[in-house]
Amino acid sequence: MEIEQSSLGIIDREVPEPRPFQGVEWEVVRRMIHTTADFELLDLVCFHPRAVEAGVQALAGGTRIVTDTHMARVGIPMRRMEPLRCVVECLMTDPEVAQRAQRERTTRARAAVDMILEHDVQRADSAPRIWVIGNAPTALMRLLEHIHSGATCPALVVGMPVGFVNAAESKQLLQAQDRVPFVTIQGRKGGSALAACVVNALADVALRS
């Protein structure tokens, strides 16, 4: 904890006022810089105007969180989630997801999005979720298809797929829509750890409320 606080203090000193982000948005971006040691994020992070409010409200209300990788799932520790009564789910290694992906000749990430939404229908669970996508552009693009069709309306999408094939493009599509709040990054950068730390920063705010 002492090392973490020292690191955050260094970031504060190296990004003096006036900063490009204020309030909780700065807490989120500072956590992202802390996770990556990448100050270029100051020019790349994009917040929907309702992102912070929607994310904190959903976490304080005990939302269900979906991640596209188990790395992101374990990166959101239960010590933060249990006091908020939040659950973190990932179906990427579910055998049914693998079978479906093979049958439909698609990616497991895309199949997992479909299965999560089908499970919600079966459970009659219409509560808005937080989606945390840090690896798979196909997961983000499939989720956006469902959003545009009206099949789902997440509380927040943390969309940060990393890589060279459709990563930047999928994030552009996320920014182009206004149906759901989002936090994203322009370009190729991203990753599971980065996406998870956004939720952790918002959870810290919810826990203070």
Catalytic residue positions? 34
Assign 3-class secondary structure to 18-64: CCCCCHHHHHHHHHHHHHHCCHHHHHCEEECCCHHHHHHHHHHCCCE
One-letter amino acid at 166 equals: N
What DSSP character marks residue 150? Answer: T
Task: Name 67's bridge partners.
Answer: 132
Query: What's the Cα-to-Cα distance from 206 to each of 52, 66, 84, 129, rounded to whole Å?
Result: 10, 18, 8, 16
